[in-house]
Structure 1
Amino acid sequence: MRIDKQAITDFFTDLQDHICQALEITDGTGTFHEDRWERAEGGGGRTRIIQQGGVIEKGGVLFSAVHGPASEAVLKQMKATQPTDFYATGVSIVLHPHSPMVPIIHMNVRYFELSTGECWFGGGIDLTPHYVDAEDARWFHAQLKTACDRHDPAYYPQYKTWADDYFFIRHRAETRGIGGIFFDYLRPGDDDHKAALFAFVQEVGNSFAPIYTHFMQKNRDLPFGKREKKWQMLRRGRYVEFNLVWDRGTKFGLETNGRTESILMSMPPQANWVYDYQPEAGSREAETLQWLKKGVNWV
């Protein structure tokens, strides 16, 4: 089966529509504002932002499809060895909830194609709870393992380890959250392999709405107070640190004159930093920090 870039692009636009609809229904009051934009060099996208909803304080569901001559930075990022044109499309999501009992979530699914004929897929989903709940973490990873296993039993352990390594705040020696799956540069060997990889990317994309709406519904009414909100602001600070210091996509976008508002969509509306903050021994905050490490076997 031959899968072309238009079929992939059409799936991503439909995926954005489906996810936004599911989030609005579950949120109850929040609606997405759409900002359509064009890239001078070619292509554009639809940035959809939700703010001050019933559950989601700030979030974005972004679709883009851009093309044109690849700059030196793009060639380096894409590991291309000669000047070429490129086509890139995908959906990227970050959601920051009001409640510290509802986790932050991130997803990205993407496709790149060069005029040389080379192409590849990338993506993943990861979860950043403000408070790590082991039961929720096991459920989350079980959903991802099931999605992976439908395509290849080797995917989950490989891509789970990749996520642990990627979503790691090196200067803090802690993971951003409880991880998930992460994959990149999945290059098809032939048309059938490309169709199989695309089916896997579709599976990952379609798993997002059921996973996050589950957490929205399950945790939205859990009680919390000032202590939990203070902790949430500190954990958001860690999220900002990772995205600005270590995230390849953020750094690449800013270094290549990308669309700043869309690139920084992932930032929370508020975050705090406290000098040398140490949680009370035996507290839920201290317990959460104990979970923020690589190699936790959730399933």
Structure 2
Amino acid sequence: MTPVTYATALYRNLLRLNGLGYLFRNVSIGMTDHGDVRNRGFLLKIKCDSVTVLRNVRQKFKTLNLKDKSVARIFCRTLHGSTQNEHNNNIHDIDYITFTNCDNDTCKILRNELLLLPNFVSEEEEKQVVLEVEPYLKRLRYESSHWDDAIHQYRETEKLKWSEKNAIIIQRIRDVAFPQGVKQISFVHVLDLKKEGFIKPHVDAVKFCGNTVAGLSLLSSSVMRFVNTDNKAQFFDVLLERRSLYIMKDTARYKYTHEILKDEESVFKGKHIPRDRRIAVICRNEP
């Protein structure tokens, strides 16, 4: 697929995250390889019939600070699901999700309220984030269970200040995950899950965060399961590959529990996904 096609997918998903997917039919995008936008990336020229949305999305592109060809790389799986099935409610063939007893409403949730961005950071960026949080995490011991019994074999911290390089990564997460003007929790949640650790089904407490949760998965791939709170027979599994970013919001955040499966349960499309120590860097908006 051409870079323009990938850019179109990127723009479509930014609109969807802002609840403006319906505008995509009236959008045209042109792309030129500029070589240097904020030191790296693409220059995107966007035309839209809404000046407000145009301004918002342009700003997101400017602040993403993506590496050359990152647009193609990090959105390739979202594109696989959204362009090939744009006029088809059946999106069960998206390669990072498997469904069980799910109906079209679940597909709609996937399209609008659950997004996965593979390879959101490079190997080097992963190393520099881990190096920054590791000294503090090493002073903590792994806890057998969380205060609400949701997390087992973990340690965690909240981080406000980051090195200059890592602050760019954190801002990149925020720019992609949250619409402009949304109040965000300043502290970033860093959750270190031991190889033997796991997260039980839960819905994040509404008093601690708002409608959107964005998590960067480091050091290990894993399988996250979402289960309908009203119908536990309806669920879907999401493959969170190492260095990917997931964004869940609204119904996916409130009406589905989510969990990280144990290593012995970590199976996706019949294949075992080996679990190792996993660090999640999580950004949330205010309640």
Q: TM-score, normalised by structure 1?
A: 0.27
Structure with the largest fraction of helix: 1
